[in-house]
Structure 1
Amino acid sequence: MSKFGSFNASISHKNLIYIDEDGVEFHGDKFTHMLKRIHDYRLDNGGDLALGWQDRVGDRLCAQMKLPACTKFKSPPRKLSVSDIGTFFSAVNKWRRSGYAVVDQEEADRRAAICAQCPKNVKIEGCTGCFRLLQKVKDAIGESKTSSDHLLKGCEVCACSLQAKVWLPKEVGHVNGKEQEWPDHCWLK
């Protein structure tokens, strides 16, 4: 889903006009292209590029334009797909071949803090059997917890449990060469 705050970028529109915090206007037909220009402008001239900035731009655009693509409704829960389950098994197998290696506490805490603030941190729905397999992964990680565990749900991009994923080597997150659309701030990018 292409949701940025209250703005749904998957609904097409014409003549988007966004006025940035410093009064500069950005025009375009595609929100994602406009986001790129806003990013480049803010990188050169200063401005909000902190975690979640795209969502704040989406909210501000909706406040400015009142478009049909603007909604206060949350994204529907991410459901596991057959492809997600296959990717999960590949990741577990890759992790097994690594000797069930985990990252250190400091790195897991850093990753968890990023995920906890991410708009892609959502509830994942799926099959009961899948969640039993996930519990086995959590059991293998052991009693390890991060300071952000209570805020972690699942990743909307890959449907992974974030409480488990933050502990795994980065290579395990990139399975079968499958390209994922990780947010710019993601530690997996």
Structure 2
Amino acid sequence: MKYKNLPAAEQAEGCSRSGSKGMERQASSPYVKLIIVLLTAVFLWIASAGRSRVLTILNQKTGEVYLESYVSEGDKIEYSWVHSFEHIPWTEEYELQNDNELMLTSIAVAGFGAGIPENKGEVSVEDGIIKMRNINQSYEEINWINSNTALTHIGLNGSVLIKGSDLPHHEPCTLKVKERYFVWPRFR
């Protein structure tokens, strides 16, 4: 079809009747817009995915999880027990680091004896308790054989998370912090 002698309005009308490619693109444009909107929505949904840090206490052999708790960088984790030979209280405080490592910051113990360090960090005696501060020793995890009578508790920011008696007796346990990713953080 030739449009040499037709006015522009008639050429356009003829074009729409002729099924030209330009009109096919125009007809499919609502679908293109829909696809763009959907892809944008999916991108924003994925971009909103978040991560959370989870403190986990589990069995070293079986992997059975005994406790999970959401934590944040800078949280204080307290590990408190009674020394098995000296029978004196011993408390270690860890601070959760950005890389999920546990930084041992202080130890408080009622005396010296078998296996108790005597020179970690800055040492002082306060009310009969030996305090070691500014230790700054980093750990990926804490491993121990649980005793219902020796482990008094594990705490988080001054509150008891779990008591030793809540964990199985004479089982190998691990405390560690890992990141978990959530597609929509508020539904974690």
Both structures adopt the same fold (TM-score exceeding 0.5): no
Q: TM-score, normalising length from structure 2?
A: 0.19
Q: Output the TM-score relative to the length of structure 1.
A: 0.19
Structure showing greater Rg: 2
Task: Looking at secondary structure, tell me which structure has more strand per residue.
Answer: 2
